[in-house]
């Protein structure tokens, strides 16, 4: 079974809700420092504050969000947002696809949207959020394939804003679809140790969780040893 240190290194602590406060962002940064989590994410306006909090810990990645939460911004807008976040010092980007285009069957527009952000990011990994809650299994498969072809580093299940996110079923479906060509990030609905470990067995290698959930999972995992 994975140990506390291994799980912490797969956790992206998330403060990307509209109502997350600066105190909550600070708590997430403190939690990441305590447990050596891999990354912390905040909304763009709060990214400079997050970077300041983590300036003494270069081993903890600063995550940036592009097109949150709906993915409906123009491609030009997403590219500008990505470039601005890079100037703020982010080490990873999590972007939301244009869900409407995907559901309409305009796969090339979806791919171009992703590819433009990937190109703007350069060597910075881009995790692409497909927001599974709104998709059929066929659309999840299609979206995952588009992400691979557009150069995404990860396919991510959700923003955490939709009613549901990661499930065992959609993690297995995405992992089977992308194979070794892309990684899988589970987010939205990862709330306990058993679920996280089960999703890891199915192919997820990164997990987006809130700071409080991260502490509960890691403390529980430590007690199982």
Using DSSP bridges, classify how beta strands 39-42 and 11-15 pair: parallel, antiparallel or unpaired.
Answer: parallel
Per-residue pLDDT tens for 125-156? 999 999 999 999 999 999 999 999 999 999 99
Residue 225 a catalytic site member:
no
Q: Is residue 94 among the annotated active site residues?
A: yes
103 labelled catalytic: no
The answer to whether 110 touches 101, Cβ cutoff 8 Å, is yes
| Residue whose tokens read 């394939």 | 145
Per annotation, catalytic residue among 12, 78, 94, 127: 94
Domain count, the chain: 1
Q: pLDDT (tens digit, 9 = 90+) per residue, 168-184?
A: 999 999 999 999 999 99
The pLDDT tens digits for 198-224 are 999 999 999 999 999 999 999 998 887
**pTM listed for this prediction:** 0.96
Question: Between β-strands 61-66 and 92-96, what pairing exists: parallel, antiparallel or unpaired?
Answer: parallel
Look over the chain and give the mean of its residue pLDDT values, rounded to a whole number: 97
**CA angle, 34 then 25 then 157, to 5°:** 90
**What does the alpha-carbon distance between residue 5 and residue 217 come to, in Å, rounded to a whole number?**
12
Domain housing 43 = 4-223
Q: What is the CATH classification number for the domain harbouring 79?
A: 3.20.20.70
Tell me if residue 61 falls in helix, strand or coil: strand
Q: Using one digit for the tens of pLDDT, what is the confidence trace for 8-39?
A: 999 999 999 999 999 999 999 999 999 999 99
Give the model confidence (pLDDT) of 52-82 as tens digits: 999 999 999 999 999 999 999 999 999 999 9
Q: What are the CA-CA distances from residue 83 to residues 77, 151, 167, 179 (Å)?
A: 10, 17, 32, 30
């Amino acid at each position: 079974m994975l140990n506390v240190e291994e799980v912490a290194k797969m956790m992206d602590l998330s403060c990307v809700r509209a109502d997350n406060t600066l105190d909550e962002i600070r708590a997430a940064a403190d939690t990441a420092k305590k447990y050596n989590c891999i990354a912390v994410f905040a909304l763009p306006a709060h990214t400079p504050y997050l970077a300041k909090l983590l300036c003494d810990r270069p081993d903890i990645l600063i995550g940036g969000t592009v097109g949150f939460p709906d993915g409906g911004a123009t491609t030009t807008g997403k590219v500008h947002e990505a470039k601005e976040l890079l100037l703020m010092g982010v080490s990873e980007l999590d972007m939301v696809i244009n869900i409407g285009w995907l559901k309409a069957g305009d796969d090339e527009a979806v791919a171009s949207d992703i590819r433009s952000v990937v190109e703007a990011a350069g060597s910075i990994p881009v995790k692409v959020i497909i927001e599974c809650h709104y998709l059929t299994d066929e659309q999840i498969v299609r979206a995952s394939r588009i992400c691979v072809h557009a150069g995404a580093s990860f396919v991510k299940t959700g923003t955490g804003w939709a009613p549901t996110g990661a499930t065992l079923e959609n993690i297995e479906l995405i992992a089977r679809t992308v194979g070794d060509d892309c990684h899988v990030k589970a987010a939205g609905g990862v709330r306990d140790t058993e679920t996280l470990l089960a999703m890891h067995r199915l192919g997820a290698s990164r997990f987006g969780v809130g700071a409080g959930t991260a502490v509960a999972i890691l403390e529980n995992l430590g007690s199982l040893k």
